[in-house]
Structure 1
Amino acid sequence: MSSLWPVVRPVVQPVVRLVRRPNLRPVLSQVRIGMLTPWAYRTSIMLGYPAVAVQIALYSVVWRAIYAGHDGEVAGADVRTAVGYAVLGLTIAGVLNTSPYHSIASRVREGLIGVDLTRPIGLLTQNLAFQTGAVLAGLPTVAVGLGTGLVVGGLAPPRDPGAAGWFAVSLLLAFAVSQLTTMLMALTSFWTMEVGGINMTFFVVRTFMSGAILPLWFMPGWLQAVAGALPFQASAYTPLAIYFGRPPGGLLPALGVQVLWIVVLGGLCAWVWSRARRRVVVQGG
């Protein structure tokens, strides 16, 4: 083992120094809390797995029924692509759309936001770290979703082997877009503490416009244009389209749009937070 140390030292030592940085430890702590918190509600987590499996099975049946009267492709996609898209889309949605165990809105309403503001890292960093942990806690959903897809015969490997790697890159960018859009909406709670109706509207619009369930290529042209102008499609449709060899506008432009939305949304979150922090009024005990 000691003979390997000179070889691995240039790689290991920078990582160790990074982890030991004082400002990184609180971030990793929040990630850990985000991973553990969902499992405090084990029953809810476990019941969510059959729900994902049932959804995938039902969508597979529906898409096959839709294609039953058609020979060949519809909007450039055959039945295997449509079913595979549903399998992968529902799996991704089940992981990325985590439950708000640590929502900013609930902490503003309950007065816990005051505790968050005393921590050594900023509120936005806390929230992103926590949600990262929550997404990691949801990774077993991937096994359930892909396993169900194999059972129903609805998911095939990408035609281009390189698409799998770019799909993984795009999926990481999609995670960032998803969390930033959710955070931006959550920050409205500093002006309106009860955001139940806003959140419901946001969830419906995000689910549909993201293309997680219905591919954008099946939408009318005008609706595709609307969806393409919003950030939601960058949180689901883009990685899915890359997987199936149909990146919007081409591979590099599609990834570039995701990066652009991350920059724009990150800037908006920082700008809104700079104003929201002046409105903090601690409620409750």
Structure 2
Amino acid sequence: MNALRPVLSQVRIGLLTPWAYRASMLLSFLVLAIQIALYSVVWRAIYSGHDGPVAGADVQTAVGYAVLGLTIAGVLDTSPFWSIESRVRDGMIGVDLTRPIGLLTQNLAVQVGYVLAALPAAGVGLATGFVVGGLAPPQSTGAAVSFAVSVLLAFGVSQLITLLMALTSFWTLEVGGLNMAFFVVRSFMSGTVLPLWFMPGWLQTIAGVLPFQAATYTPLAVYFGRPPGGLAVALGVQAVWIVVLGGLCAWLWSRARHRVVVQGG
């Protein structure tokens, strides 16, 4: 328990920090609800000229996908990209390196806190989905359990991707442009904006070899009964990405720790 106390303290920091800006958090929930409502209107307008399903998905599936996709992204994609960058810039990274737990553990714990702080977004998203009438419940208990497992794996993939991007701060102090480009690629290739099954084959292939789809698209595909390659393969791919991304983070940190230059105070 004593070994866990420092980790839990970092989780608590991540949990409390976003809610120090309550107006911003509440506004983000409102924005999520508006996004879901708008996406449902757009998808229904797109399908209004079609009598049947498109790429194997009917209008109810498309709207439900938008509801669930935006909800998951609203919770899992809330971790700060700038945490390491700002601490390298102002010299506080030196303090981090003296703490009793490693830098990677510290940041992952803070990221977990941010995700916990954003959990009310799940309620907002699902409630909005109920109002717009776009999300049906899982087809069975087994489907619900499979979806829950996939979401947990997606959580691991998402946080490791965020940490990997944050570690680039040791090579360049200004990561704003890189993060903007990364956000655009992540949103598109993860399937949050558009289901991968609507993409042309060559683009699906590219998305399939990148880790982003394992952070959002896979749990959504599991929910709607379309796991890529089957359920076992889909969950296995997510687990493999956790191992690969974890290894990349550890390797990058082993290189980055030799580049630390404390600036400022």
Query: TM class, shorter-chain normalised?
Result: over 0.9
3-state SS, counterpart of residue 37 of structure 1 = helix
Q: CA deviation at 1:42?
A: 0.7
- Residue 88 of structure 1 corresponds to which residue in structure 2? 68
- Residue 270 of structure 1 corresponds to which residue in structure 2? 250
Q: In structure 1, what residue type is equivalent to 2:137?
A: P
Matched ranges for 1:96-111 at <5 A: 96-100=76-80, 103-111=83-91
3-state SS, counterpart of residue 21 of structure 2 = helix
What is the distance in 2 between the residues matched to 1:142 and 1:265? 26
1:145 maps onto 2:112 in alignment:
no
Q: Which runs of 5+ in 2 are unaligned?
A: none
Task: Report if the CA contact (8 A) 1:108-1:189 is conserved.
Answer: yes
Q: Give the superposed CA RMSD.
A: 1.0
Task: Report if the CA contact (8 A) 1:177-1:261 is conserved.
Answer: yes
Higher alpha-carbon Rg: 1
**102 and 40 in structure 1: CA distance in 2 versus 1, 3 angstrom threshold:** farther
Q: CA deviation at 1:240?
A: 0.4
Runs of 4+ in structure 1 off by over 4 angstroms are none
Q: CA deviation at 1:102?
A: 6.3
Which deviates the most, 99-108 or 82-91? 99-108
Q: CA deviation at 1:161?
A: 2.9
Matched ranges for 1:234-249 at <5 A: 234-249=214-229
- Residue 185 of structure 2 corresponds to which residue in structure 1? 205
Matched ranges for 1:29-178 at <5 A: 29-100=9-80, 103-178=83-158
Task: Report if the CA contact (8 A) 1:158-1:245 is conserved.
Answer: no
Q: Percent identity?
A: 78
What is the distance in 2 between the residues matched to 1:160 and 1:71? 27
Task: Report if the CA contact (8 A) 1:96-1:175 is conserved.
Answer: yes
Q: In structure 1, what residue type is equivalent to 2:263?
A: Q
TM-score, scaled relative to structure 2: 0.98
What is the distance in 1 between the residues matched to 2:180 and 2:48? 34
- Residue 5 of structure 1 corresponds to which residue in structure 2? none
Task: Report if the CA contact (8 A) 1:180-1:266 is conserved.
Answer: yes
Q: CA deviation at 1:101?
A: 7.8
What is the distance in 1 between the residues matched to 2:192 and 2:7? 29
3-state SS, counterpart of residue 273 of structure 1 = helix
Q: Which runs of 5+ in 1 are unaligned?
A: 1-19
Q: CA deviation at 1:160?
A: 3.3
- Identify the match of residue 27 of structure 1 among 1, 4, 7: 7
TM-score, scaled relative to structure 1: 0.91
Q: CA deviation at 1:215?
A: 0.5
What is the distance in 1 between the residues matched to 2:260 and 2:46? 52
Which deviates the most, 98-107 or 268-277? 98-107
Q: CA deviation at 1:99?
A: 4.8
- Residue 3 of structure 1 corresponds to which residue in structure 2? none
Which deviates the most, 92-101 or 151-160? 92-101
Per-residue Cα deviation, 1:94-138 (whole angstroms, up to 9, x for no partner):
111115286111111121111111110000000111110110010
* Count of residue pairs the alignment pairs up: 265
Task: Report if the CA contact (8 A) 1:38-1:101 is conserved.
Answer: no
- Residue 193 of structure 1 corresponds to which residue in structure 2? 173
**71 and 161 in structure 1: CA distance in 2 versus 1, 3 angstrom threshold:** farther
What is the distance in 2 between the residues matched to 1:267 and 1:222? 28
Task: Report if the CA contact (8 A) 1:102-1:130 is conserved.
Answer: no
